[in-house]
Structure 1
Amino acid sequence: MNPMRVVVAPDSFKGSLSAAQVAACIADGVRAARPDAVVTSLPMADGGEGTLDALLAAWGAEAQVIDTVDAIGRPRRARWAISPDGRTGVVELAEASGLPHVADVTPQPLHASTRGTGAVARAVLDAGVAEVLVCLGGSASTDGGAGILTGLGVRLLDDDGAEVPDGGEGLARVSSLDLAGLHPRAREVRWRLAVDVTNPLVGEHGAAHVFGHQKGAGEGDAEYLDAALVRWAGVLERATGVRTHDLPGAGAAGGVPSGLVALLGAETEQGALLVAEAIGLPAALADADLVFTGEGSFDSQSVRGKVADGVARLAAASPARPPVVVIAGQVLLPAAQTREAGIAAAFSIAPGPIDLNELLGRTSTRLTDLAAQITSLRAVPAPR
């Protein structure tokens, strides 16, 4: 009789534990209940913050570091990575252009940019990779990816031929593009953009109106930025023939996909599925008996492109079709909707009414205990 095979593929519990730490706690619980279990831990991410760490952990690789700037131009060091086979370079936008790095100053929604991420992308291209994976999420800017392109050598010009400033303010004045200085390998590699939203670039559901307030944009700022993004999309369309105004996912990370899709032929993909492919999750699920995933809050957004959704989809498509169980800080999705999403069950680590700070302090213990209890419910698997 073969040992029980368990795959552990959670997201992080933001503000508490990293995805790798969550996976380790759950794995400890599985082994406590079934010492003979074969546990495969594959920490996950949805393409946003934490994706770089998830990939580094899965690959057993170490990050590279580069001197760059943050979203408002201050010096910053940012990490990036190369896959073990040397083919894929990984850029996590939040490393250089993330919102937490500018939380110490008054928000600058019209001026913040992704130029620092462009410097990281340049370093990745210089390393000779065949494809670049850009992990979007946690952005401090709404610049349509213009900063990344600027970092790669593109010049954004106004009606008089002068370069426009960084950020949304510059997009409001841009009239044309000078591509003469574009990095020579920028159009030779494959660009893949990990996104976890389907919002278009502009309009009431676009980058500025939906996500701008998170970056300090008031109502007037959001209107200004939306108009700037419309102008930017028009410039891109005239230059490339590619329309990005209503492209699903183009509103991610302040509209970054618009510039990269139009000028570099980038492809947007569901972040969780892209990460899963990169770390080998589909192969691990092929003979699994049970799958654990998890995140801080399991709710309606969790089954719309987040990690739990990606794991459930891949499990359903695998030969073994193993049941997927979610362990979360809080569970807000009803059981019927959980099952509709292809998830067998979802459990909260909260033992009952409890103070949030106390729960955060007990997250590791509760994850391990709950994983052990759930594992104990599984019948001994039939011989293969």
Structure 2
Amino acid sequence: MKIVIAPDSFKGSVSAMVAALSIEKGIKKYIPHAETVLVPIADGGEGTMDSLVATTGGKKVNVTVKGPLSNPIDAEYGLLGDGKTCVIEMASASGLCLVPQDLKNPMVTTTYGTGQLIKKALDDGYRNFILAIGGSATNDGGIGMLQALGMRLYDSSGELVGFGGGELDRIVVIDNNNWDKRIADSIFLIASDVQNPLIGPNGASHVFGPQKGATPQMIDILDKKMHHWADLVQAKTGIQLHDMPGAGAAGGTCGAFQAFFPVTMKRGIDVVIEYTRLRDHLQGADVVFTGEGQIDFQTASGKTPMGVAQEAQKLGIPTFVLCGSIGRGIEVLYEYGIQSIHSIINAPMSLQEAIERAPELLAQSAEQVIRTFFPYKTVTEKNQKNETIKLQK
């Protein structure tokens, strides 16, 4: 019996690899001789770098950068097993996870560190990039990243502006004379599912600002500042970011990529599926396990469980989902090849306890699911059949 295990991370609890190992442990308790293939997955947000590095046999490169609050932090970029492709994960340098709750403020948080990661990878000789832009703490339109790569942004007094979304409407001149010329000779693939424009009620400030610490009053101010920035970019490049799909991703950083970088955009889960060779691993599988922390109607928008299930469905392979909690609207997910969804919580417990016990709970749940859907007789007969085939060969 071949079982593919392709979960996402359970955010705040276990990485995708730890989740996969835990699920494997539970399965092997019931079917010790099962062939298990572990493919840790992500959907373009946090964990994407870890997934791609792990499954391609790559490595990570440590870099000291400015964090979202402009303080020095240790970040990293990933180098895939091909030795040519870099993965830049915004969350590593400019992520919301790096900002304490009481210091969240998109007026001041910056993407400068993300630009420093790109610059370091360019300095190291790489020209092929995958950009995972989920989980940012910023709403600065990407100006910090641009500043780190040589863009000079001046105010009306001829002074360089500072960092953060609060500086956007101070900019009157975009000077790209010192812009890193290596960028034009590079390839940038943005892994993102976000289709929000840069400004307006569906734009970066209104939709994503609150989770980054923006108050209702701050949201309107940020949106006006972002509008000013979009006008300047259009005057400089001819590119109208205001209503451009996806420009609002990562607090407008995607818009900066669209305006100043040679980029293509692709759904995050599709990028990860391609680079992890999930389709190849699914060949000949009997069942697939996937999962993430929360499953609800939003999972259908391109998150890991749905993407994995869609690929398995093409081959007629059932997919089981393990999760921490089950929200509303999961019925739609069954249309995408998901056989069933199972919460790993097996008794009343606090969130902290669930987080700490996640490996154990994943293993227990995986064992119960495999026992339920594959009775002992079925498993035994299949193993005997496989052994007979091997002997005949």
* Contact in 1 for aligned 2:58/2:82 (Cα 8 Å): no
* Contact in 1 for aligned 2:290/2:305 (Cα 8 Å): yes
Q: How far, CA to CA, are the matches of 1:335 and 1:156 in structure 2?
A: 46
Tell me the secondary structure at the aligned position of residue 331 of structure 2: helix
Which residue is equivalent to 1:46?
43
Offset, 1:36: 2.2
Offset, 1:222: 0.8
Any gaps of 5 or more consecutive residues in structure 1?
A: none
Q: How far, CA to CA, are the matches of 2:297 and 2:168 in structure 1?
A: 34
Tell me the secondary structure at the aligned position of residue 252 of structure 2: helix
Which residue is equivalent to 2:357?
362
Tell me the secondary structure at the aligned position of residue 156 of structure 1: strand
Offset, 1:161: 4.2
Which residue is equivalent to 1:311?
308
Offset, 1:104: 6.9
Offset, 1:329: 0.7
Residues 6-17 of structure 1: matches in 2 within 5 Å? 6-17=3-14
* Contact in 1 for aligned 2:295/2:330 (Cα 8 Å): no
Tell me the secondary structure at the aligned position of residue 252 of structure 1: coil
**Is 2:172 the counterpart of 1:175?**
yes
Which residue is equivalent to 1:101?
98
RMSD between aligned alpha carbons?
2.1
Deviates more, 1:236-245 or 1:84-93: 236-245
Number of corresponding residues: 379
Q: How far, CA to CA, are the matches of 1:313 and 1:203 in structure 2?
A: 33
Offset, 1:286: 2.7
Which residue is equivalent to 1:240?
237
Tell me the secondary structure at the aligned position of residue 75 of structure 2: strand
Deviates more, 1:219-228 or 1:154-163: 154-163
Offset, 1:199: 2.1
Offset, 1:182: 1.4
Tell me the secondary structure at the aligned position of residue 184 of structure 2: coil
Q: CA 1:101 to 1:343, structure 2 compared with 1: closer, same or farther past 3 Å?
A: same
Match of 1:152 among 149, 153, 156: 149
Q: CA 1:195 to 1:338, structure 2 compared with 1: closer, same or farther past 3 Å?
A: same
* Contact in 2 for aligned 1:28/1:368 (Cα 8 Å): yes
Residues 220-369 of structure 1: matches in 2 within 5 Å? 220-317=217-314, 320-333=315-328, 336-369=331-364
Offset, 1:375: 2.2
* Contact in 2 for aligned 1:338/1:344 (Cα 8 Å): no
Which residue is equivalent to 1:91?
88
* Contact in 1 for aligned 2:300/2:332 (Cα 8 Å): no
Which residue is equivalent to 2:162?
165
Q: How far, CA to CA, are the matches of 1:106 and 1:374 in structure 2?
A: 43
Tell me the secondary structure at the aligned position of residue 316 of structure 2: coil
Tell me the secondary structure at the aligned position of residue 86 of structure 1: coil
Higher-Rg member (1/2): 2
Offset, 1:240: 2.2
Q: CA 1:246 to 1:315, structure 2 compared with 1: closer, same or farther past 3 Å?
A: farther
For 2:14, give the aligned amino acid: L
Q: How far, CA to CA, are the matches of 2:217 and 2:332 in structure 1?
A: 38
* Contact in 2 for aligned 1:327/1:347 (Cα 8 Å): yes
TM-score normalized with structure 1 length: 0.92
Partner deviation per Cα, 1:210-233 (whole Å, 9 max, x = no partner) = 111222211121111111212222
Tell me the secondary structure at the aligned position of residue 4 of structure 2: strand
For 1:331, give the aligned amino acid: I
Match of 2:370 among 346, 352, 375: 375
Deviates more, 1:19-28 or 1:30-39: 30-39
* Contact in 2 for aligned 1:156/1:177 (Cα 8 Å): yes
Offset, 1:73: 1.3
Q: CA 1:334 to 1:144, structure 2 compared with 1: closer, same or farther past 3 Å?
A: closer
Tell me the secondary structure at the aligned position of residue 108 of structure 1: coil
* Contact in 2 for aligned 1:109/1:216 (Cα 8 Å): yes
Q: CA 1:365 to 1:213, structure 2 compared with 1: closer, same or farther past 3 Å?
A: same
Q: CA 1:371 to 1:107, structure 2 compared with 1: closer, same or farther past 3 Å?
A: closer
Partner deviation per Cα, 1:230-268 (whole Å, 9 max, x = no partner) = 222222222222222223322221111000011113222
Query: How many percent identity over aligned positions?
Result: 38
Tell me the secondary structure at the aligned position of residue 293 of structure 1: strand
Which residue is equivalent to 1:114?
111
For 1:345, give the aligned amino acid: S
Q: CA 1:345 to 1:84, structure 2 compared with 1: closer, same or farther past 3 Å?
A: same
Any gaps of 5 or more consecutive residues in structure 2?
A: none
Deviates more, 1:204-213 or 1:151-160: 151-160
Q: CA 1:264 to 1:335, structure 2 compared with 1: closer, same or farther past 3 Å?
A: closer
Q: How far, CA to CA, are the matches of 1:62 and 1:146 in structure 2?
A: 29
TM-score normalized with structure 2 length: 0.90
Q: Which structure shows the bigger proportion of residues in helix conformation?
A: 2
Tell me the secondary structure at the aligned position of residue 344 of structure 1: strand
* Contact in 1 for aligned 2:41/2:48 (Cα 8 Å): yes
